[in-house]
Amino acid sequence: MSKIPSFRSIHLVSGLGAGLLGALVMFSSFGSLTFADEPAPGTQVAVTISVPANQNEFRTGRGIELTSEPLDEDQTEELQFWLYLPKDYDDDAEEGAPLMLFLHGAGERGDNIDKVKFHGPPKLCLQQEDWPFVTVSPQCPTGRWWNTDQLGILLDKIVETYNIDEDRIYVTGLSMGGYGTWALTAQTPERFAAAAPICGGGEPEKADQLVDLPIWAFHGGADGVVPPERSEAMVDAIKAAGGEKIKLTIYPGVGHNSWTETYANPDLYEWMLSLKRKSE
């Protein structure tokens, strides 16, 4: 199964369901993983990871204000996430599995991890027999914005623990998660093979960081929550910086929910799986 160190200790997990048996894996002062149940191929389980405390807050008016507060490494907090292993996952396979990181929207924030399964990959992976991705779907706490440093720690631990092909790591998110996708890829573009931000926006001044990353952005043409101009501005800036791997799909007449049609499109997943991270 998973590459969990031999010094794993077993204990009862509180707050994730009565009677569930968990495993605590200590990697360092940060990054301990607590499993609600032992993960197995074809299943999705709730997990928490210990990370440095996030000091930022989420602010929104008609748009979304990005925040960029540093982590407090003197304190820790827990970040919940769903972990799905494909049915054909093999810890001893010569080729690692592709990994998808999914970032939800503002409506799924909080401490009820089941809300994360309302939309997108953490819902679809349980409905499709041949879902090919190890899927990691964290939950952002109430009142918070996605913290890219915490997400980086999460990815590090998943790669350390499971048989992952590091040349096939993908990220996608909707609304607030679309913003998070733009922010995370701008911070560490070299980590990803491709990105699919949906009805979000980013910082056009960071477009030069994204010229080499394949990106497929999506937005509803009638979105009154996050205007489509937010995606268009990012695409235009990346093209102006010399990027040729960026494309944008606008759904005419569609409002904020542009994710249902996007995640139902098999072309998205075929596109992702056709791409590998550029080798050094």
Q: How many residues does the chain have?
A: 280
- Domain enclosing residue 174, as ranges: 9-273
Q: How confident is the model at residue 53 (pLDDT cuts 50, 70, 90)?
A: confident
Q: Phi/psi of residue 141, each to 5°?
A: -65, 160
SS3 content of the chain, % helix, strand, coil (to 5): 25, 30, 45
Backbone angles phi, psi at 221, to 5 degrees: -65, -20
Taking only the tens place, the pLDDT of each residue in 93-148 is: 999 999 999 999 999 999 999 999 999 999 999 999 899 999 999 999 988 889 99
Three-class SS state of 26: coil
Residue 54, domain CATH: 3.40.50.1820
Residue 264 belongs to a domain:
yes
**82: β partners:** 46, 137
Cβ–Cβ under 8 Å, residues 221 and 228: yes
* Chain segment 61-97, per-residue pLDDT in tens: 444 555 556 676 778 888 999 999 999 999 999 999 9
pLDDT of residue 279: 58
Residue 279 domain flag: no
At residue 57, the pLDDT reads 64
Q: Is 3 inside any structural domain?
A: no
* Structural domains of the chain, count: 1
152-157 long-range contacts, Cβ below 8 Å, gap at least 24? 152/184, 152/187, 152/188, 152/191, 153/30, 153/31, 153/49, 153/51, 153/52, 154/49, 154/51, 154/79, 154/81, 154/101, 155/99, 155/101, 155/191, 156/31, 157/27, 157/31, 157/33, 157/49
Query: Which DSSP string corresponds to 97-123?
Result: EEEEEEE--GGG-SS-GGGGGGSSHHH
pLDDT at 65: 54
Taking 50 as the threshold, does the pLDDT of residue 14 lie above it? no
Q: Tell me the pLDDT tens digit for each residue of 159-207.
A: 999 999 999 999 999 999 999 999 999 999 999 999 999 999 999 999 9
Residue 2 lies in a domain: no
pLDDT digits (tens, 9 = 90+) for 209-260: 999 999 999 999 999 999 999 999 999 999 999 999 999 999 999 999 999 9
Q: Which of 24-28, 39-43, 67-71 has the highest mean pLDDT?
A: 39-43
Residue 111 inside a domain? The answer is yes
pLDDT score recorded for residue 21: 31
191: tokens are 């980590």
What lies within 8 Å, CB to CB, of 61 at 6+ separation is: none
Crossing angle of helices 148-161 and 176-187, rounded to 10°: 70
- Under DSSP, is residue 149 helix (H, G, I), strand (E, B) or coil? helix
Residue 15 binned pLDDT confidence (cut-offs 50, 70, 90): very low
What are the pLDDT digits (tens) for 194-218? Answer: 999 999 999 999 999 999 999 999 9
Q: How would DSSP label each residue in 213-232?
A: S-EEEEEETT-SSS-THHHH
The kind and range of the H/E element at 184 are helix 176-187
Question: CA distances (Å), 132 to each of 89, 269, 276, 279, in order?
Answer: 9, 9, 15, 22
Residue 25 has pLDDT above 80, yes or no: no
Instruction: Say if 209 falls within a structural domain.
Output: yes
- Single-letter amino acid code for the residue at 24: L
Rounded mean pLDDT of the chain?
86
- β-strand partners of 52: 76
